[in-house]
Amino acid sequence: MRFSIYRYNPEADDKPRMQDYDVALEPADRMLLDALVRIKAHDDTLAFRRSCREGVCGSDGMNINGKNGLACITRMADLKEPVVIRPLPGLPVVRDLIVDLSQFFKQYHSVKPYLVNDDPPPATERLQLPGDRDALDGLYECILCACCSTACPSFWWNPDKFVGPAGLLQAYRFIADSRDQATNQRLDDLEDPYRLFRCHSIMNCVEVCPKGLNPTRAIGKIKELLVKRTV
Amino acid sequence: MVRREVVGARYGVRDWLAQRVTAVVMAVYTLLVLAVFVSVPVVDYWHWKSLWELAVMRYATVLFLLSLYLHAWIGVRNIFMDYIQDPGLRLTLYTIVIAALMSYAVWSVQILWGV
């Protein structure tokens, strides 16, 4: 099978290049990550991140035939040849398919992605009604693979100011949490032309999310709450 | 000046809402005008002129145009925020767009009441 893979070592190369690989796959090589591991067995200079190899850790996010996704849960059978693999777009490349995610995590941390509750903690745990717990479905599953934020044009233009779909999904995850007491501060923090309102509902995030989540809907809910608070 | 990334202007929801409200106003006006054109055939200049002498048409049209200018302002500002990174240049462009849109607003009223 033919692959065309982005190669770049900023310390040694003047500019990035695409390297072609022809690989004979084994029957067990079902997913793209299997193929990448096989390529790396032949050429150990190729660098990429991977860990759990089953779509849970979010390490192997990359741009596959033009669309962001996780290599470990992308089926080889669904890919057109040559398979063009590039790093996630819009972030600085550390090496080959490895990008520097500092900016992404800085935005994630900026939404205070943890429960804020000043009540004394109960002996066991803070309970929720089943309905309240259901409100977190479609939000808590995010694995922070950065596929969505790096597919978002608004994040490309303003990665330092726009929180991005992943961060905003997490922001809403805590706004929606019945145990959280900082809703107003969270909304204050997001009511900003850059932090939230750079989202123009382009919906690339929904298109690429490997977990099938919908950050645009979460962002819409935040906007709804802001409107409710204003009018 | 310190090199520090600053965000937190605490606005945005009003503009976001205004853009949606003005879109509704424009949509309603468009349907209304289409209905008028279908029911009242405009065959010559005098028909056209008498239609625009109606106060309701003038006010509706002014409302439509003001909505358009406000809608355009928010949209154009969004584009500048995305693509123009230098704050000085951005402010200059904002000023030009505001001046242009305000002139259009005055001009629209002049045209409508000058028929």
Q: B83 contacts in A (CB within 8 Å)?
A: 157
**Residue B73 within any structural domain of the chain:** yes
Smallest Cβ distance to A227: which of B8, B9, B13? B13
3-state secondary structure of A173: helix
Domain region containing B32: 12-113
Q: What is the pLDDT of residue B7?
A: 87
Which pLDDT value is given to residue A101? 98
Predicted confidence band at B79 (pLDDT cuts at 50, 70, 90)?
Answer: very high
B window 8-67, beta carbon within 8 A of A: 8-17
Task: Examine residue B102 and state whether it is found in any structural domain, yes or no.
Answer: yes
Provide the edge-to-edge strand list for the sheet that holds A2-7: A17-22, A2-7, A83-86, A61-64, A67-70
Q: What is the pLDDT of residue A89?
A: 98
Percent of chain B with pLDDT over 70: 99
What does residue A28 show for φ and ψ, rounded to 5 degrees? -80, -10
Higher pLDDT, B8 or B74: B74
From B111's Cα to the closest Cα of chain A, the distance in A is 34
* Confidence at B3, pLDDT banded by 50, 70, 90: confident
Q: Which residues of B touch A229 (CB under 8 A)?
A: 13
Q: Is the peptide bond before A82 cis (omega within 30 degrees of 0)?
A: yes
> In this structure, is residue B7 part of a structural domain?
no
What pLDDT is recorded for position B1? 63
CATH (domain of B34): 1.20.1300.10
> Does the residue B75 lie in any domain?
yes
- Any domain includes B80: yes
Q: Is A208 helix (H, G, I), strand (E, B) or coil?
A: helix
Indicate whether B3 belongs to any domain: no
Which tens digits make up the pLDDT trace of B88-97?
Answer: 999 999 999 9
* Residue B5 domain-assigned (yes or no): no
Query: Helix or strand or coil: residue A69?
Result: strand
Total domains present in chain B: 1
DSSP letters, A150-165, are: GG-HHHHH-TTT--HH
Torsion of CA A64, A66, A69, A70, to 10 degrees: 10
ipTM of the modeled complex: 0.87
Q: Which residues of chain A have pLDDT under 50?
A: none
Q: Which residues pair with A83 in a beta bridge?
A: A3
Q: Given this model, what pLDDT does residue B48 score?
A: 85
The tens digit of pLDDT for each residue in A164-216 reads 999 999 999 999 999 999 999 999 999 999 999 999 999 999 999 999 999 99
Q: Is the pTM of this model over 0.90?
A: yes
The predicted structure's pLDDT at residue A72: 98
Q: What is the pLDDT of residue A174?
A: 98
Is B2 part of a structural domain of the chain? Answer: no
